[in-house]
Amino acid sequence: MNPFNRYLKTIWQIFKKDIRVEWRGRQGIPVMLVFALLIVFLFNFALQLSPDLQAELAAGLLWVALAFASTLGLNRSIASERENNALDGLLLAPVDRSAIFFGKSLSNFVFTFLVALILLPVFSVFYNQNMLNLRLIFIILLGLGSYTSLGTLLAVLSIQTRARDVLLPVLLFPLALPILIAAVESSRLVLGSHPVSDYQSWLFLLIAGNILFIGVGLLFFETILEE
Amino acid sequence: MSERFPSEPFSIEISNLVKHYHHQNVLDHLQLTIKRGDLCVLVGDNGAGKTTLLRILASLIRPDQGEIRLINNTENENSSYRGKIGYLGHQSMFYNDLTAAENLRHYAELYQIPNAQEAAEASIQSVELTGFKDNLVRTFSRGMQQRLSIARALLHHPSILLFDEPYTGLDQKAANFLDAQLRNLHQPDKIILVAAHRPQRMLSFATHIAWLQKGKISHHIPIDQISDFPDLEDYLRGTV
């Protein structure tokens, strides 16, 4: 098998393992979903927004729900590697260690994206917005791609510290702020039926975020893993 | 294992290994050479650095200085080195929500073992856990997890075996099982290094003993020469 296929196969094997662990334990997606739905309900009933304000705030609330739910998922994902030191098992394998980063990032991304897909119709009902919009879904793909790749990197970094349970959000939220702002702004403009030219700079920022965080993961994941 | 004997390391040579933790020298210019066919017991007090040494050898942590060389082979900076290592650590490295067979299959796939499913099942059979292969690992006792860990460490037929305190938490039956496994594994083409806080039970079948003190290997001698070193003999007597 050529090295590139081998690399892809390793990513797939780690992704497959994460799916199986999630299917058995059901501790990631359900928790993320319940948490995200709670945010939707709480804000809806607490704020009692007028329809105009709902339209303005829906994008921001969607990303608050996704960011917090994703962080929960990242914590859970890395907890399964911490349990019994399973991460060492991955590190011992004769594979390129950056493939572990991509495998873990992929599973974190897919889990969060699934939560987003379930969340969108609920948002549509509560905030009187058509959230099942392909452009919005594309922005969610871009936003979650960079958020979960950065999150995976930081989750692995935090696993090696004593303050591991609180360190992830403390590191992740400030570093992901530009991505979240870009995601909120572009989502808001999409929901307001603005033309692409109005939000293309935000899209470029999201694309740059994906390239940056995937690149950083590729270059530094192994260094982070080796204490 | 098609690439067995000629490419297997003749010896593992550790030179000038240094590792600090929190400004404390855990390993201090440590030197050690272990030859193919050796079963070496690494002894030392708690905190002497046995685990650190084994984790560096397994390429789980990076030393601050020094190098590890496989004679007849390359350094430990690449993934092919890791493919030669079988490491048994303090924890099982298994996913509690997967079955024994699923866990081993996952590792077999990562090690590119052909017919991963069959290899996993054969490995489970070798540690006499066939009846439990479809049970979740979270339901396993410490002894069963340790047996399964041995199966994991040997799944890819490694030529260098690093076992860190493998007897910890095992009852007499499980410890006897581990003795038998180590005796079977002691082959001319393998290098075995076992860190043990209480090494007495291994002295009957190990070939060498290495004593780690103050970050250095103070003694590295064949087992039958222990009586020539009264300080080591006293130390071993104290570990009973």
* B contacts of A82 (beta carbons < 8 Å): none
Which of A92, A104, A222, A226 to mutate to probe the B interface, most B CBs <10 Å? A92
pLDDT score recorded for residue A44: 85
The Cβ of residue A142 has, within 10 Å, a number of other Cβ atoms equal to 21
Q: Is residue B111 within 8 Å of residue B120, measured between CB atoms?
A: no
> Which residue, B131, B132, B128, B107, is CA-closest to B117?
B107
pLDDT-based confidence at residue B9 (cuts at 50, 70, 90)? low
Q: What is the mean pLDDT of residues A177-187?
A: 96
Q: What is the pLDDT of residues B41-54, one digit of tens each?
A: 999 998 899 999 99
- DSSP, residue by residue, chain A: --HHHHHHHHHHHHHHHHHHHHHHH--SHHHHHHHHHHHHHHHHHHH---HHHHHHHHHHHHHHHHHHHHHHHHHHHHHHHHGGGHHHHHHHSSS-HHHHHHHHHHHHHHHHHHHHHHHHHHHHHHHT-----HHHHHHHHHHHHHHHHHHHHHHHHHHTSTTHHHHHHHHHHHHHHHHHHHHHHHHHHHHTT--HHHHHHHHHHHHHHHHHHHHHHHHHHHHHH--
Q: What is the pLDDT of residues A151-164, one digit of tens each?
A: 999 999 888 787 77
Q: What was the ipTM of the complex prediction?
A: 0.89
pLDDT score recorded for residue B182: 92
pLDDT score recorded for residue B4: 39
Q: Which of B90, B102, B137 is the closest to A20 by Cβ?
A: B102
Q: Is residue A203 within 8 Å of residue A142, measured between CB atoms?
A: yes
User: Burial letters for B166-205: b for 16+ Cβ neighbours within 10 Å, e otherwise?
Assistant: bbeebeeebbebbeebbeebbeeebbbbbbbeebeebeee
Q: Which of A6, A92, A227 is the closest to B58 by Cβ?
A: A92
| For residue B3, pLDDT beyond 60 | no
Least confident segment among A74-88, B77-91, B102-116: B77-91
- In the sheet with B65-71, reading across from the earlier edge strand, the strands are B24-35, B11-21, B65-71
Q: What is the mean pLDDT of residues B200-224?
A: 94
pLDDT-based confidence at residue A27 (cuts at 50, 70, 90)? confident
pLDDT score recorded for residue B7: 55
pLDDT score recorded for residue A227: 59
Interface residue A20 vs chain B (CB under 8 A):
yes
How far is the C-alpha of B64 from the C-alpha of A121, rounded, in Å? 54
How far is the C-alpha of B60 from the C-alpha of B83, rounded, in Å? 13
| For residue B71, pLDDT beyond 70 | yes
The two counts, helices (H) then strands (E), for chain B are 7, 9
pLDDT score recorded for residue A54: 81
How far is the C-alpha of A225 from the C-alpha of A227, rounded, in Å? 6
Q: How many percent of chain A have pLDDT more than 90?
A: 70
Give B163's strand partners.
B88, B194
Helix (H, G, I), strand (E, B) or coil at B209: strand
Fold classification of B1-84+158-240 is: Rossmann fold (3.40.50)
Q: How many percent of chain B have pLDDT more than 70?
A: 92
Asked if B96's CB is within 8 angstroms of A10's CB, the reply is no
Q: What is the mean pLDDT of residues A89-109?
A: 95
pLDDT-based confidence at residue A129 (cuts at 50, 70, 90)? confident
Q: Which of A1, A21, A92 is the closest to B95 by Cβ?
A: A21
* Mean of pLDDT over chain A: 92
| For residue B74, pLDDT beyond 90 | no
Output the CA torsion sign for B194, B199, B203, B204.
Answer: negative
Interface A-B: count of C-beta contacts within 8 A: 78
How far is the C-alpha of A11 from the C-alpha of B213, rounded, in Å? 42
Nearest residue of chain B to residue A99 (CA atoms): B110
Q: Is residue B40 within 8 Å of residue B194, measured between CB atoms?
A: yes
* Mean of pLDDT over chain B: 89
Least confident segment among B26-30, B73-77, B109-113: B73-77
pLDDT score recorded for residue B27: 95
Q: How many percent of chain B have pLDDT more than 90?
A: 75
How far is the C-alpha of B15 from the C-alpha of B73, rounded, in Å? 16
> Which residue, B110, B104, B107, B109, is CA-closest to B135?
B104
pLDDT score recorded for residue B6: 45
pLDDT score recorded for residue A19: 96
Q: Which residue has the tokens 């601050």?
A: B64
Output the six-digit token pair for B207. Answer: 């070939």
pLDDT-based confidence at residue B22 (cuts at 50, 70, 90)? confident
CA end-to-end span of chain A, whole Å?
31
* A contacts of B21 (beta carbons < 8 Å): none
* B contacts of A94 (beta carbons < 8 Å): 79-83, 111-112
pLDDT-based confidence at residue B73 (cuts at 50, 70, 90)? low
Least confident segment among A82-86, B151-155, B171-175, B227-231: B171-175
pLDDT score recorded for residue B2: 35
Backbone angles phi, psi at B24, to 5 degrees: -110, 130
pLDDT score recorded for residue B95: 96
E strand or H helix at B146: helix B142-154
Tell me how close the Cα of B224 comes to any Cα of chain A, in angstroms. 34
Q: Is residue A185 within 8 Å of residue A168, measured between CB atoms?
A: no
Residues of chain B with CATH 3.40.50.300: 1-84+158-240
Residue scoring higher pLDDT (B197 or B96): B96
The Cβ of residue A125 has, within 10 Å, a number of other Cβ atoms equal to 11
CB-facing half-sphere around the CA of B139: CA atoms within 13 A: 9
Going by C-beta distance under 8 Å and a sequence separation of 6 or more, which residues neighbour residue B183? B205
Q: What is the mean pLDDT of residues A17-26?
A: 92
> Which residue, B221, B175, B227, B219, is CA-closest to B201?
B175
Q: What is the pLDDT of residues A66-96, one digit of tens each?
A: 999 999 999 999 888 988 999 999 999 999 9
C-alpha pair distances (Å), B232 with each of A31, B211, B214, B223? 55, 8, 14, 11
pLDDT score recorded for residue B1: 33
